[in-house]
Structure 1
Amino acid sequence: YTFAKGKFAGVDNVVVSATGYTGAGGVEIYFKDEDGAADIIWDKMMELGIKPIGLAARDTLRLEMGFCLYGNDIDDTTSPLEGGLAWITKFTKEFTAKAILEKQKATGVQRKLVGFEMVDRGIPRHDYIIKDAAGNAIGKVTSGTQAPSLGKAVGLGYVAIEHAALDSEIFIDIRNTLVKAKVVKAPFV
């Protein structure tokens, strides 16, 4: 994470911070919106050829990278071990709930966040139920979309641990139709 503060398009005290939320280079721009600063900065960015995108495009890019969205893929009810974030959990240091996570690490998790790609035609959406071949519920989609840069639909979701292995066949219940998918490694790109 880096940032710089300076003047942009004649506007003082503009903070530009480097971000990686989409998996590609990006920035966030912060400034006090007074004296038409927002319009001035916007017009300058358009003059420089920057193309605006909406939140849906940003969400698709972060999903293609397998990045979790708080409130969808992770929240205060998921552990970093379930969410695939053990790599950033420092068990060598003290932290809240360390004992609980150490126990979970020793006994294993019951569910796991996995990446999946659709085998059959269909777009997975948040809260769609993930099922096994027999139609039993085994999890839930947390994020899903048609990924234009991949030419296929992908998603993230929690599944029972016995269905979390790579290449496991799973089914997404899309409007009462089981649509085949398979567990794959994220990032998808």
Structure 2
Amino acid sequence: RDTLRLEAGLVLYGNDIDEDTTPLEAKLDYAVKMDKGEFIGREALQRQLNEGLRKVRVGLKMLEKGIPRPHYEIWCENEKIGVVTSGTYSPLLNIGIAMGYVKPKYDEVGREVEIAIRERRVKAKMVEWPFYNEEEYGRRRKNVP
């Protein structure tokens, strides 16, 4: 069931979100209506909108063999840019997938990054959710690699 959650791009409290993560950072801003009046935390969210986010949640799909796990570092151009919060092997996609947080300036679908798995960096790319794309893989998984 955790694999299905991850393939769907759903967050898990304690892994992908916690009391230190805002809905804006987690890309859950659809759940917050800034134009609907006052609510607890509105001032902090407005400050983030004005000043910028500290981190942003991204989807990651491995380009090489490797299974990303929580706490693995995400690298881009020899700079540590973030950390994996959830990761596993997807039997549906036949590849490792993950979600994590990166510095906002690196948040770009299609951007190639590396995930530090044990002693080596393994190539991955940032993708949108859900990980399963019917146009790419077909309605019945016929084109899954």
**Smaller-chain TM-score range?**
0.7 to 0.9
On the 8 A contact 1:116/1:155 being kept in 2, the answer is yes
For 1:1-189, what aligned pairs fall within 5 Å after superposition? Answer: 58-91=1-34, 92-134=36-78, 136-189=79-132
Structural RMSD (CA): 1.0
- In structure 2, C-alpha distance between the alignment counterparts of 1:133 and 1:175, rounded to whole Å: 19
Higher relative contact order, structure no. (Cα contacts within 8 Å, ≥ 6 residues apart): 2
**Cα deviation 1:114-165 (Å, max 9, x = unaligned):** 001001110000111111131x211000000110011111100000111111
Q: How many residues align?
A: 131
1:69 alignment partner, SS class: coil
Q: Which amino acid aligns with 1:71?
A: G
Q: CA deviation at 1:110?
A: 2.5
Q: Which amino acid aligns with 2:5?
A: R
TM-score by length of 1: 0.67
Which one has a bigger Cα radius of gyration?
Answer: 1
Structure 1 residue runs of 4+, over 6 Å off?
none
- In structure 1, C-alpha distance between the alignment counterparts of 2:51 and 2:89, rounded to whole Å: 36
- In structure 2, C-alpha distance between the alignment counterparts of 1:87 and 1:148, rounded to whole Å: 30
